[in-house]
Structure 1
Amino acid sequence: MGEIQLSLPCNLGITERKFQSLAEHDLTDDEWMSNKVETVQLMTRGLCRHPLNIRVRLFSQERYDRLNYSIRTRSGDKEHMHLPPYALANVRDTRRSFQAYLDENFIASLKEQIDKEGTHPIIREHYLEALMHYDKLCDDFDEDNKERQVLKDFFKLRMALHHCMSPSWVYDESTGSHKCLGVYRVKDEKHPLLHRIPTPRMIVAQLYAIVCTKFVDTLTEKVLHNLEQLYSRAKFQPFFTVYVVTFLLLHEVSLTVGHWKDGREVFTGIIKEPMLPQTTEPFATKMCHNAEILLLHWHYYRRKPNASVAGDNFYGDDMNKGFLSDVSGSQKFLVKKTWVDLKQKFTNELFDENDFQGSGGLELDFHPLYWASQMFVENWVPFQHVSARRKGTSTTAPWTPRTPPEIPSLEEDRRI
């Protein structure tokens, strides 16, 4: 699991300054244009109703800094909005501010995700059940509760990741005016940040670098370390924690790939020509590799211990039925309902049938539930060559599938 990396690519196209330098060092004294430090509030779309307070200063723009916010209209034309050259006044202070912001709001952010209208019902149900499970674990006074810690770190990781994928804007709460940092709110109906003031681009680049290197990478390591320990335990008790964190991690892997493909222009304000396959392929391949490592752990973990033990009467030969003895009724129902929705009913609304069967090419990996759906495939094996799969020619390891017993309906299980 140590190979898994959930970070988005480093280069946003805003500046040619080194990524690590953006995360660790302030601009030099020669680069500042003004000594005046201003405090503004930053909001990230869909992340949290509470703002992040940041302190900023004007700096002298270099020729390689692309600080305008550009959009592509429906007709394909490009429009540019001038934004002033502001940067973070102090990178270290901002890092501390974001840490406090994360610690105070990771639960509030998760609740907003649950309540958000656009959240897929399956994702909403999993986040809600995960939050309820976390609340129950918080009543445990064991300071070394790995389940509670892995859920807490995952919730923070989710918030940090989404901060790196969603567009942001600034405002000045002290004045409440339609103007901030010398810029008026957007009035163009075509603009993705209508009635907002887009965050100055250098601030976006600096915050992105800070959150990716100091939070996403660190939290990913913590989550995977503790999750791997739960996977290695010969106990049934942590089953639901293992299941729900794995499921939601696979969902986040799909989201990051989808963002890199479709959402980067709105986030960065930098318009790029359609990316060539050789540009997107390495990142997509890395994320597929992440997903397959998680799935390998999951499918090995969930199997019944040996051939002499009867399989679960719902999941068949592939599930250790002892896992279900220590989960609550609502947790068990969620797992079984999702099993039906993603394994048997994917053709209705979740996937195109041909794509799901592997003949649709690249787009399949971008669906936010594709990798999570692979948790419910009997006799799942990883694809050894991702690019070959995208061409419709999978090269999987030799495998002799077993025949699972007939699966009862969800309604029958509910009555039981």
Structure 2
Amino acid sequence: MAPVPGPSTAPISPQEHAPTISTPIQAGRLARDDPATMAQYYPPLQPTQGVGMRPPTTREEMVYPGPPPVLGDRLHNGPNYTAPGSHCLLDRPVKPEAFSAMYGGGVVTTQYGAQIGHVADLQDLYRLGLKEDSDRPDGSNFDTYPGHRSVPARRGAFKDQELRAKTALTRKMGSCIRCKMQRIRCNLDPENENGPCIACRKVNVSSRIYRLSCLRLKIVDCKLYKPGQVPGHEWTSRWKDSVLDDIEVWAPGEQRTIRVTEGYTNMFVELRVREFVPQPGDKLERTWVDKNGVLQRRAIPPFAIVDLEDAKNSYNRYMKRGLENCCVRLLGPRDKLLHKTYFFAINRVKDGQDFFLLPTERNLLALTLELWMTARLTTKTLEIIGNERLGMSLDLIDDPTNDMHHKTPVPPVLGAQIDSFLIHQIQSQLRRRTLEELQRMTQEKKQKTWLTTYLVTFILLHNIGLVTKHDAEYARKHGMKRHWAREDSVKEYEMGANTLLAYFHYCNKGIYPFSAECRDADLRSLAELDDDAIELVHYTRQYIAEHKAQWEDLWKGEGDWKDKGFKKYEHEYYYVSQLFEPNWQPRNMP
């Protein structure tokens, strides 16, 4: 018998791992007792040392090895495969690579002295005629067989110190969107580390081709809601590092049940509260500045939530039940873009029979809407309704310019408790899950998920506009000598908006889906949109055309927005409208 080729060091493709159904070759096709017969099909081989496949050591060639092949799979799928019934081995020679997938890294010695890898499965011997069919057991035990997994090679340490330094710098500075989306190394310019990366600099910039700037941004870094109370206007100093503890010292008296609402829905949340003994740092009054610039104060009794976990669960239920009512109250007429887009997303989440939507898409939309709802609860003053008002009268706040005029405010410490678990427990978790899933879906670059990423980006941008407006209103309410109550936070909101817009425009190469050049056939075949989705795209195109001039003035601070300074950032369409801006580039707030 002629020597059989030893183990191959050729790279193994992942396609070779799938199990196959073997078609045995007739016995006696190759006479294993006649070495001369075998020799005419295979060149003589010298004994070789059996070694395992070593991974490349250079960074550019480094690959992670895929799973090992199923034995004989190369014969069925590779260039040596011949249809069953033909003379595959007699008509043409079989290349040695066809045998390489059959052997592992071990070494055995044949009766002819050649060293070969261990035969991993007897089925290949029967199929190649190297073992008599008469010795083959009955049954279908050999019809299929699993692959054998090898231990994947681990990447070693860098041997090139310059490459190590470049990698460390890239990790520190971050990869730009273009390199991240194309999955290529983002090499920074050593002479200008904060400037465009080398790959972006090499892009041939044409006046007719839209090119996004080199931006090192991550979706998961977006800030989407206020971080807490405004410094200097805290309601209590009890809880540090966002850790919410129960009240330790209660005043004599029984628990009471109150109903609170922010006014966006026709619903309320019931909370069990009790009077507590104040400690230094607890605020016991509500303050505001009236239209004449005079600071107003009103004393509020010290009540707090008794069971924080129960209150948190009540709010979780309320957010799900009150979402649609909140949208109706906030989003304006049904014929406006905000209303149509939000309720399209809501209906997609509710429709369990929507076969155009993947489960991951439905989950992302649900997370986004829930996150949007929680942000509304922390940007609106809560009031107490019902019979139990903790001893406060309806005329406690008698200033018509105050949003709590003839309403009952919640006690400050109680409000701080609600803010704390909404922001640091509910919102933080929703934000992380939403942004991680959005970044994953965006970087997959699947055309089918385009509509979902658009809807999520639309809702998050609108949310940023709302929290930005709230920050300005809070500063005016408390007579601050600045436009924003939290200036650093507002700039973080804007950075988050630019991040979302940058990824959206990069993936869409501008606004193509909303342009007249995009045909319905393209939307159906590429984005797999149904009739309702295409109707939304048509409506959005029309709305863009009708408001183009108004939005351009808004972006540039011209027309009605001239000399209004930061006021344009409070407009609910300021960030949303930039989704439809041709040749978009990020703007920085002064």
Q: TM-score, normalised by structure 2?
A: 0.55
Name 1:24's counterpart in structure 2.
Answer: 244
Matching of residue 364 in structure 1 with residue 581 in structure 2: no
Aligned pair partner of 2:258 in 31, 36, 40: 40
Question: In structure 2, what is the Cα distance between the partners aligned to 1:341 and 1:78?
Answer: 44
What CA distance in whole angstroms lies between the structure 1 residues aligned with 2:585 and 2:408? 48
Q: Relative to 1, partners in 2 of residues 1:296 and 1:21: Cα closer, same or farther, differing over 3 Å? A: closer
AA of the residue aligned to 1:369: Y
Which residue is 2:316 aligned to?
99
Relative to 1, partners in 2 of residues 1:250 and 1:329: Cα closer, same or farther, differing over 3 Å? same
Give the whole-Å Cα distance in 1 for the aligned partners of 2:298 and 2:315: 27
Q: Which of 380, 389, 392 matches 2:584?
A: 380
Is contact 2:557-2:568 (8 Å) kept? no
In 1: Cα distance, 2:335 partner to 2:235 partner: 35
Instruction: Summarize the alignment of residues 150-189 of structure 1 with structure 2, pairs less than 5 Å apart.
Output: 150-172=364-386, 176=387, 180-186=389-395, 188=398
Q: Which has the higher helix share?
A: 1
The one-letter amino acid paired with 2:258 is: V
Q: Deviations over 1:328-358 (max 9, x none)?
A: 332112331243245344268x677528999
Aligned counterpart for 2:539 among listed residues 310, 326, 334: 334
Question: Is 2:363 aligned against 1:149?
Answer: yes
Larger radius of gyration: 2
Q: CA deviation at 1:287?
A: 0.8
Q: Which residue of 2 aligns with 1:314?
A: 515
Q: Distance in 1 between matches of 2:573 and 2:301?
A: 39
Match of 1:414 in 2: none
Q: Which residue of 2 aligns with 1:408?
A: none
Gaps (5+ residues) in structure 1? 305-310, 391-416
1:257 counterpart SS class: helix
Kept in 2: contact 1:342–1:376 (CA 8 A) = no
Q: Secondary structure at the match of 2:296?
A: strand
| Superposition pairs of residues 266-281 of structure 1, within 5 angstroms | 271-275=478-482, 280-281=486-487
Q: Following the alignment from structure 2 to structure 1, what is the Cα–Cα distance between the partners of residues 580 and 306?
A: 49
The amino acid of 2:586's aligned partner reads P
Within 2, Cα distance between the matches of 1:312 and 1:91? Answer: 47
Partner of 2:558: 354
State whether residues 6 and 217 of structure 1, in contact with CA within 8 Å, keep that contact through their aligned partners in structure 2: no
Percent identity (aligned): 18
- In the alignment, the residues of structure 2 paired with residue 300 and residue 343 of structure 1 have an alpha-carbon distance, to the nearest angstrom, of 21
1:185-264 matches, cutoff 5 A: 185-186=394-395, 188=398, 190=400, 191-263=402-474
User: Deviations for 1:59-91, whole angstroms, at most 9, x for unmatched residues?
Assistant: 122343222122322222232222101111122
Alpha-carbon distance between aligned partners in 1 of 2:505 and 2:257, rounded to the nearest angstrom: 50
CA distance in 2, matches of 1:201, 1:373: 37
The answer on 1:133 being equivalent to 2:348 is yes
- In structure 1, distance between residues paired with 2:433 and 2:562: 33
- The DSSP-based 3-state class of the residue aligned with 1:170 is strand
Q: Which runs of 4+ in 1 moved over 4 A?
A: 18-23, 140-144, 320-325, 350-353, 355-361
**1:207 counterpart letter in structure 2:** I
Partner AA of 1:132 in structure 2: N
Tell me the SS of whatever aligns to 1:183. Answer: coil
Q: Does 1:294 align with 2:500?
A: yes
**Letter matched to residue 326 of structure 1:** L
Higher relative contact order (CA 8 A, sep 6+): 1
For 1:83 and 1:313, locate their aligned partners in 2 and report how far apart those are by CA, in whole Å. Answer: 53
**8 A Cα contact 1:68 1:201, kept in partner:** yes
CA RMSD of aligned residues (A): 3.4
TM norm structure 1: 0.76
User: Aligned pairs, how many?
Assistant: 363
SS in 2 for 1:24: coil
3-state SS in 2 of match to 1:378: coil
SS of alignment partner, residue 10 of structure 1? coil
Q: Structure 2 counterpart of 1:8, which letter?
A: K
User: How far is the alpha carbon of 1:160 from its aligned partner?
Assistant: 0.4
Q: Partner amino acid for 1:3? A: D
Segments of structure 2 that go 5 or more residues without pairing to the other structure are: 1-218
- Distance, in Å, in 2 between the alignment partners of 1:213 and 1:303 is 36
Name the stretch that deviates more: 235-244 or 14-23.
14-23
Amino acid at match of 2:298: M
1:14–1:202 Cα contact (<8 Å) kept: no
Deviation at 1:145, TM superposition (A): 0.6
The CA deviation at 1:7 is 2.5
* Change beyond 3 A, Cα 1:316–1:289: farther
Amino acid corresponding to residue 494 of structure 2 in structure 1? C
Give the Å deviation of 1:8.
Answer: 0.3
